Amino acid sequence: MPGHRFIVYTREDCPLCDDFVAELSAIVPAFGLQDVDDDPTARRRFGIKVPVLTCEGSVVCHGRLDREAVLRLAQR
C-alpha cells in the first residue's frame, strides 16, 4: 500500500480486527488496510496473527494495539 506508513492486516468477520482498527484510528489519522487473505505473501507471513500493524514494513504489534509504540513511531 504505497503512501501509507502504517498498514493494518485484517481479516473479514474479525471482531478483534474491528476493535484494533477503531482504537488505531483514534491515534493515527491515516493508515492502510489490507485483508490478509487477499495477499498470499501476507497470509503466509501472518497466518492467524491478525490484526497485525506494520510501520514501513516492520511489525509493530499484533493481536492488541501497543499504543505507546504507535505513538512513538507516529512522532518520528
Q: How far is Cα 34 from Cα 65, in angstroms, rounded to an integer?
A: 16
| pLDDT exceeds 80 at position 1 | no
Cα-Cα end-to-end distance for the chain: 20
Q: Which of 10, 14, 18, 15 is nearest to 51 (CA)?
A: 10
What is the per-residue pLDDT across 5-18, written as a single tens digit (0 to 9) for each? 999 999 999 999 99
Cβ-contact 32, 1 below 8 angstroms: yes
What is the per-residue pLDDT across 40-67, written as a single tens digit (0 to 9) for each? 999 999 999 999 999 999 999 999 999 9
What is the per-residue pLDDT across 28-39, written as a single tens digit (0 to 9) for each? 989 999 999 999
